């Protein structure tokens, strides 16, 4: 780290972290992602492991402090926690996830990969993305929020997303940040580095024009229902009949659509409670109008404690999908029994669900199979690839009412758009209070509903066929290459250090 910044590194790292988060929705200053990361990489060079960790940690506190500020709203406004408790838990979340940027800095310094400018130009991006993968896929069931690739959905680098996915594209963004550092530090190679960066971004722009998938059949008319019932009102018994009536009436007004989609848990009751009097009559109506209605509601399993967050299709092609990837602390409690004990002491009660099987038959509408995800399942690329070769489009049902008028619904839509671009398929996203949207096969928003407005979006989509390179291969090749590069760089660094020691010994003799 530069000498002038030593005494101010905490503030500088915090500010860089905030700058990083401004690259994401709803701010969308995409180019701040590589800029802020280049500043972080620059600060990590030739620093000790402990200092590298602290710089990265304060960067993480800055980025997550702004980026997941909505945790407070969820806990305080809708989770029943008082202000002090909500602040305390929100702070713990920020402090916990802030560890991961610090971990990237520590690993780089501990393995001495930050000692040589040429080595760090590759090693720092590699370590950064490996730590992103750890955070996004493995720890506490995964938390991919603020991963660097998501900020590039509208930049030239978006062309790489259907080819190498979020982690491969993230590596290219991180390498760009490293390249900027090298340009500043190595004037001798400035022209060559500029040519490489311009070529990389130019290739990304060219890849955006490639049509990886193709349309099949006639366009489908679809309608997405946004009932706009706030979380504090949704499950009140006195609102149940009113809610069901609105969705039924809105559905009946759009029987000319081939597909009508309701948001997550739009039905505020278990299936067993509403099946005979509401679901089955609606199912018969859907059959009569040759339409498919996608409804979402909780379902009780055969065991006493089994509850599933589920989606049903009503009409001529009926089926059930049970959510596979559950939200930690929202739908299940990890770190038991500690987490349950703590939340009970804080008087925060959370409903626990059971995860559905990883491989389930695809639901169908108008003869086309589709990929179904519920809520934040759309944040995980690998989930959407299961049977993707058989799917013509993607459907995500979500309830972001938990987070009020915050930045979270916009961030969540940004995550969902990545899945459309990765797979080359339209995404139909129905949410309770917003943001309901239709996203095309290039990840572009075709139509979007405003937040907190009762709305029905109606439009046409094209069923798609074919596979993008990413849909064929997934994340495994990228992660394998990153791991191999990491260990190769460590070996090369050790060999270089050994040679330096031998030379010094020879000089001394």
Burial class for 224, CB neighbours closer than 10 Å (0-12, 13-18, 19+): buried
Q: Which of 80-89, 131-140, 255-264 has the lowest mean pLDDT?
A: 80-89
Peptide bond into 502 cis (omega under 30): no
Question: Between 502 and 246, where is the model more confident?
Answer: 246
Radius of gyration of the chain (CA): 25
108 and 189 assigned to the same domain: yes
What distance in Å separates the CA atoms of residue 401 and residue 406, rounded to the nearest whole number?
Answer: 10
Other C-beta atoms within 10 Å of 61: how many? 23
Asked if residue 217 has pLDDT above 80, the reply is yes
Q: Is residue 283, in this structure, part of any structural domain at all?
A: yes
With respect to residue 328, please indicate whether it lies within any of the assigned structural domains.
no
Residues 51 and 86 in one domain: yes
pLDDT for res 332: 62
Q: Is the pLDDT at 4 greater than 50, yes or no? A: no
255 within some domain: yes
From CA 61, how far away is CA 73, in angstroms rounded?
18
Structural domain including 196 reads 3-210+475-508
- pLDDT of 60: 98
Angle in degrees, CA 440, 445, 451, rounded to 5: 135
CA-wise closest residue to 13 among 49, 64, 48: 64
3-class state of residue 381 by DSSP? coil
Residue 8, pLDDT > 80, answer: no
CA 370 to chain centre: 20
Strand partners, 215: 464
d(CA 458, CA 221): 7
Least confident stretch, 146-160, 177-191, 220-234, 318-332: 318-332
At residue 305, the pLDDT reads 82
% the chain with pLDDT above 70? 92
Q: Of the ranges 78-87, 116-125, 154-163, which is most confident?
A: 154-163
- Whether residue 293 is found in the same domain as residue 164: no
Q: Are residues 8 and 109 in the same domain?
A: yes
Based on the fold, state whether residues 231 and 124 are members of the same structural domain: no
Supply the pLDDT for residue 90. Answer: 93
Tell me what pLDDT residue 471 has. 98
Average pLDDT, the chain: 91
Residue 138: which pLDDT band, with cuts at 50, 70 and 90?
A: very high
Does some domain include residue 360?
Answer: yes
Confidence of residue 501 (pLDDT cuts 50, 70, 90): low
In a shared domain, residues 280 and 412: yes
Please check whether residues 376 and 481 belong to one and the same domain. Answer: no
- Catalytic residues, by residue number, are 264, 323, 375
Q: What is the structure's pLDDT at 264?
A: 96
Same domain, 77 and 202: yes
Contacts 24+ apart (CB under 8 A), 171-175: 171/125, 171/126, 171/129, 171/478, 171/482, 172/200, 172/204, 173/33, 173/34, 173/37, 173/148, 173/149, 174/34, 174/37, 174/124, 174/125, 174/128, 174/129, 174/148, 175/121, 175/122, 175/125, 175/200
**Residue 507's pLDDT is what?**
59
Assess contact for 312 and 294: CB atoms under 8 A. yes
Same domain assignment for residues 284 and 157:
no
Q: What is the mean pLDDT of residues 203-232?
A: 95
Across-strand partners of 459?
Answer: 222
According to DSSP, the residues that pair with 373 across neighbouring strands are 396
Q: What pLDDT, in 10s, does the model give residues 30-49? A: 999 999 999 999 999 889 99
Which pLDDT does position 330 carry in this prediction?
A: 66
Does 201 share its domain with 278?
no
Confidence of residue 328 (pLDDT cuts 50, 70, 90): confident
Residue 142 in this model has a pLDDT that exceeds 90: yes
Asked if 243 and 229 touch (Cβ cutoff 8 Å), the reply is yes
User: Exposure string (b/e) for 443-453, b if CB count within 10 Å is 16 or more?
Assistant: bebeebbebee
CATH of the domain at 380: 3.60.110.10
Q: Provide the b/e sequence for 143-157 (b: ≥16 CB within 10 Å).
A: bbbbbbbbbbbebbb
Provide the domain count of the chain.
2
Extract the tokens encoding 503: 């030379």
What is the C-alpha separation between 256 and 408, in angstroms, rounded?
33
Average pLDDT over residues 266-271: 94
pLDDT of residue 83: 93
147/280 same-domain check? no
Per-residue pLDDT at 494: 85
Contact (CB, 8 A) for 225 and 266: yes
Residue with tokens 């709803």: 26
What would the mean pLDDT of 444-469 be, rounded to a whole number? Answer: 97
Strands of the sheet containing 259-261, edge to edge, are 319-322, 307-314, 292-300, 259-261, 220-226, 455-461
- Whether the predicted pLDDT of 447 surpasses 90: yes
10 Å Cβ neighbour count for 362? Answer: 17
> Does residue 336 sit within a domain?
no
**Exposed, middle or buried by CB within 10 Å (0-12, 13-18, 19+), for 7?**
exposed
Verify that 445 and 494 share a domain, yes or no. no
3-class secondary structure for 112-179?
A: CCCCCHHHHHHHHHHHHHHHHHHHHHHHHHCCCCCCHHHHHCCCHHHHHHHHHHHHHHHHHHHHHHHH
- What sign does the CA torsion over 323, 324, 328, 334 have? positive
pLDDT in tens, 362-390: 999 999 999 999 999 999 999 999 999 99
pLDDT of 337 higher than 50: yes
Cα distance from N-terminal residue to C-terminal residue, the chain: 35
Whether residue 326 is contained in a domain is answered as no
Q: Would residue 265 count as lying in a domain?
A: yes
Least confident range of 120-134, 354-368, 487-501: 487-501
Q: Examine the pLDDT at 319 and tell me if it is beyond 80.
A: yes
Q: Looking at the domain assignment, is residue 337 inside a domain? A: no
């Amino acid at each position: 780290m530069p000498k002038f910044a030593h005494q101010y590194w905490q503030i500088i790292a915090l500010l860089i972290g905030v700058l990083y988060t401004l690259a994401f929705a709803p701010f969308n200053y995409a180019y701040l992602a590589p800029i802020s990361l280049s500043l972080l990489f620059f600060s990590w060079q030739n620093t000790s492991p402990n200092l590298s960790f602290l710089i990265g940690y304060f960067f993480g506190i800055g980025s997550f402090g702004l980026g997941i500020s909505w945790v407070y709203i969820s806990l305080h406004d809708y989770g029943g926690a008082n202000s002090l408790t909500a602040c305390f838990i929100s702070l713990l979340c920020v402090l916990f996830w802030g560890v991961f940027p610090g971990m990237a800095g520590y690993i780089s310094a501990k393995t001495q990969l930050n000692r040589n400018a040429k080595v760090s130009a590759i090693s720092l991006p590699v370590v950064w993305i490996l730590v992103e993968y750890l955070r996004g896929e493995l720890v506490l069931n995964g938390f991919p929020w603020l991963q660097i690739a998501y900020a590039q959905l509208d930049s030239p680098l978006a062309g790489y997303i259907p080819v190498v996915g979020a982690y491969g594209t993230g590596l290219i963004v991180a390498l760009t940040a490293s390249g900027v550092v090298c340009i500043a530090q190595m004037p001798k190679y400035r022209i060559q580095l500029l040519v490489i960066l311009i070529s990389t971004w130019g290739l990304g722009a060219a890849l955006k024009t490639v049509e990886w998938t193709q349309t099949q059949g006639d366009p489908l008319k679809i309608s997405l229902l946004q009932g706009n019932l706030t979380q504090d009102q949704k499950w009140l018994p006195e609102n149940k009949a009113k809610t069901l009536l609105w969705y039924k009436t809105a559905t009946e007004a759009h029987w000319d659509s081939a597909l009508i989609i309701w948001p997550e848990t739009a039905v505020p009751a278990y299936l067993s409670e509403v099946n005979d009097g509401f679901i089955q009559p609606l199912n018969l109506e859907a059959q009569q109008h040759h339409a498919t209605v996608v409804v979402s509601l909780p379902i009780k399993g055969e065991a006493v404690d089994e509850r599933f967050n589920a989606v049903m299709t009503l009409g001529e092609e009926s089926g059930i999908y049970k959510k596979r990837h559950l939200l930690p602390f929202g739908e299940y409690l990890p770190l038991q029994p500690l987490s349950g004990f703590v939340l009970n002491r804080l008087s925060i009660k959370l409903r626990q669900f059971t995860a559905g099987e990883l491989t389930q038959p695809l639901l169908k509408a108008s003869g086309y199979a589709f990929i179904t995800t519920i809520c934040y399942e759309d944040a995980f690329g690998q989930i959407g690839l299961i049977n993707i070769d058989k799917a013509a489009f993607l459907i995500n049902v979500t309830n972001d009412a938990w987070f009020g008028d915050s930045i979270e619904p916009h961030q969540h839509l940004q995550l969902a758009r990545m899945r459309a671009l990765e797979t080359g398929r339209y995404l139909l996203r129905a949410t309770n209070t917003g943001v309901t949207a239709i996203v095309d096969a290039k990840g572009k928003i075709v139509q979007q509903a405003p937040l907190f407005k009762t709305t029905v979006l109606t439009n046409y989509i094209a069923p798609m066929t074919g596979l993008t390179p990413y849909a064929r291969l997934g994340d495994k090749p990228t992660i394998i290459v990153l791991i191999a590069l990491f260990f190769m760089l460590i070996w090369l660094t050790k060999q270089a250090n050994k040679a330096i020691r031998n030379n010094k010994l020879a000089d001394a003799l």
